[in-house]
């Protein structure tokens, strides 16, 4: 007897169904995060991935870094120095960044990726109560120590999960947290608070002991038609309660070398340096930080950054034309997409893209605070973006 197809159901072949089960097990093992490409290669080698649109990085920036790295480190044999000798200590690398960021070196903390900084800040500076907007990056509530009260501010679907600044101030005043978390642009929706509005918000919340401002996607945000970069680092001198966290993985496409930094009051950094973070970098990340502050690299990087933003805008516009989905455009290098087909789950859709088209995107069914079926899709190269649009249209045409 032939089973009747349910509404929103995707047909998988027996081979695809087997891949689906293995993918589900990998996802469960990864918790609230997603398995990496290297994990797929080890655990699921029979799966061909053509486009990784789960990890959020600028591929053109990766190409640029590789060009400099090959010419200056590989071709010259200087790779031996990076491997054989210890890298500099935390504050020595901070001195490299100081002039570039226009802040004092004593206010800069270097991390083994932003995730290490997030954990250190949460563990060292949250006292009794933390207020976290949802949906958001899960580590901010997963790293909270036992005994700390977590208050969730659920962003409203009716407002497309954008933060209403005036409402947020009222929530803070009503709950009196000692710590709040602001991600700008936010992950997974890409919602962005403009520079002046964020500054005004910090002034209104000057009584909060610790304000964490995560700007890991800030290089993709823009406020004019020149796509000028936005820099908030100097705010820490005015707001001693502010901790700005910056991942370098996304905008520079270098997640594998684990590089991140934070800008905060000297007293906070001194505390962390006394508790195990004196020597937490590696030679590759030190080379990157030195490269990051150079004028030649900065100029070349800005060109690929602007190119990537323009292509991302074009990608979003093409996605908006696809029936059966709602695109939540933001000021990041990804989009959050709601699946509007009744009965279609985000996991099935993500799996179908993966096993039928080799496109890896993120399901958002583990993101608390979302109402409905959502996925998050990163922008890649123009060619990869066109392939993703074509595949999305093909997959959704069955409904």
Examine the domain organization and report whether 106 and 249 are in the same domain. Answer: yes
| Number of domains the chain contains | 2
Examine the domain organization and report whether 46 and 148 are in the same domain. Answer: no
What's the burial of 120, exposed, middle or buried (CB within 10 Å: 0-12/13-18/19+)?
Answer: buried
- Answer whether residue 267 shows pLDDT above 90: yes
Examine the domain organization and report whether 274 and 335 are in the same domain. Answer: no
For the entire predicted model, the pTM comes to 0.94
Examine the domain organization and report whether 54 and 184 are in the same domain. Answer: no
Instruction: Express each pLDDT in 114-153 by its tens digit.
Output: 999 999 999 999 999 999 999 999 999 999 999 999 999 9
* Matching residue, tokens 């570039």: 100
Q: Give Cα separations from 73 to 65, 94, 291 (angstroms).
A: 11, 22, 12
Instruction: Express each pLDDT in 206-255 by its tens digit.
Output: 999 999 999 999 999 999 999 999 999 999 999 999 999 999 999 999 99
Instruction: Express each pLDDT in 269-322 by its tens digit.
Output: 999 998 888 888 899 999 999 999 999 999 999 999 999 999 999 999 999 999
Going 100 to 103 to 105 to 108, the CA torsion angle's sign is negative
What CATH number is given to the structural domain containing 112?
Answer: 3.40.640.10
Examine the domain organization and report whether 200 and 276 are in the same domain. Answer: yes
**305, part of any domain:** yes
Q: Give Cα separations from 130 to 123, 151, 191, 240, 307 (angstroms).
A: 11, 6, 21, 18, 38
336 vs 338: CA distance, rounded Å: 7
**2, part of any domain:** no
10 vs 343: CA distance, rounded Å: 10
Examine the domain organization and report whether 307 and 287 are in the same domain. Answer: no
What CATH number is given to the structural domain containing 336?
Answer: 3.90.1150.10
Q: Which helix (H) or strand (E) holds 300?
A: helix 295-320
**70, part of any domain:** no
* Domain limit, last residue, from 246, 264, 293: 293
Examine the domain organization and report whether 305 and 338 are in the same domain. Answer: yes
**81, part of any domain:** no
SS3 (DSSP) at 392: helix
Range of the domain at 247: 86-293
133 vs 254: CA distance, rounded Å: 27
Examine the domain organization and report whether 165 and 54 are in the same domain. Answer: no
Phi and psi for 129 in degrees, rounded to 5? -145, 135
* Domain limit, last residue, from 248, 278, 293: 293
């Amino acid at each position: 007897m032939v089973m009747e197809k349910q509404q929103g159901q995707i047909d998988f072949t027996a081979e695809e169904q087997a891949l689906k089960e293995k993918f589900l097990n990998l996802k469960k093992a990864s918790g609230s995060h997603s398995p990496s490409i290297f994990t797929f290669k080890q655990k699921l080698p029979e799966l061909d991935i053509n486009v990784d649109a789960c990890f959020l990085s600028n591929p053109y920036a990766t190409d640029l870094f590789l060009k400099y790295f090959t010419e200056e480190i590989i071709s010259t044999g200087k790779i031996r120095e990076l491997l054989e000798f210890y890298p500099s200590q935390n504050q020595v690398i901070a001195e490299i960044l100081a002039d570039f960021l226009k802040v004092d070196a004593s206010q800069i903390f270097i991390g083994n990726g932003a995730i290490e900084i997030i954990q250190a800040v949460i563990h060292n500076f949250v006292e009794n109560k933390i207020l976290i907007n949802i949906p958001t990056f899960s580590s901010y509530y997963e790293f909270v120590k036992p005994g700390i009260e977590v208050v969730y501010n659920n962003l409203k679907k009716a407002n497309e999960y954008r933060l209403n600044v005036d409402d947020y101030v009222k929530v803070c005043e009503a709950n009196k947290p000692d710590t709040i978390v602001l991600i700008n642009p936010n992950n997974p929706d890409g919602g962005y608070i403009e520079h002046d509005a964020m500054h005004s918000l910090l002034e209104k919340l000057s009584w909060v002991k610790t304000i964490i401002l995560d700007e890991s996607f800030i290089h993709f945000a823009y406020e004019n038609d020149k796509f000028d970069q936005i820099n908030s680092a100097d705010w820490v001198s005015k707001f001693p309660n502010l901790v700005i966290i910056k991942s370098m993985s996304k905008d520079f496409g270098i997640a594998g070398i684990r590089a991140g930094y934070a800008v905060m009051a000297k007293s906070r950094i001194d505390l962390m340096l006394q508790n195990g973070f004196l020597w937490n970098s590696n030679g590759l990340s030190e080379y990157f930080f030195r490269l990051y502050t150079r004028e030649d690299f900065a100029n070349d990087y800005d060109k690929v950054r602007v190119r990537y933003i323009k292509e991302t805008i074009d990608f979003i516009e093409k996605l908006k034309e696809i029936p059966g989905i709602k695109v939540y455009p933001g000021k990041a290098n990804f989009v959050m997409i709601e699946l509007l087909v009744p009965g279609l789950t985000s996991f099935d859709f993500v799996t179908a893209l993966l096993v039928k088209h080799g496109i890896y995107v993120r399901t958002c069914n583990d993101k608390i605070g979302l109402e409905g079926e959502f996925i998050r899709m990163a922008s890649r190269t123009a060619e990869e973006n066109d392939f993703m649009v074509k595949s999305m249209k093909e997959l959704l045409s069955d409904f």
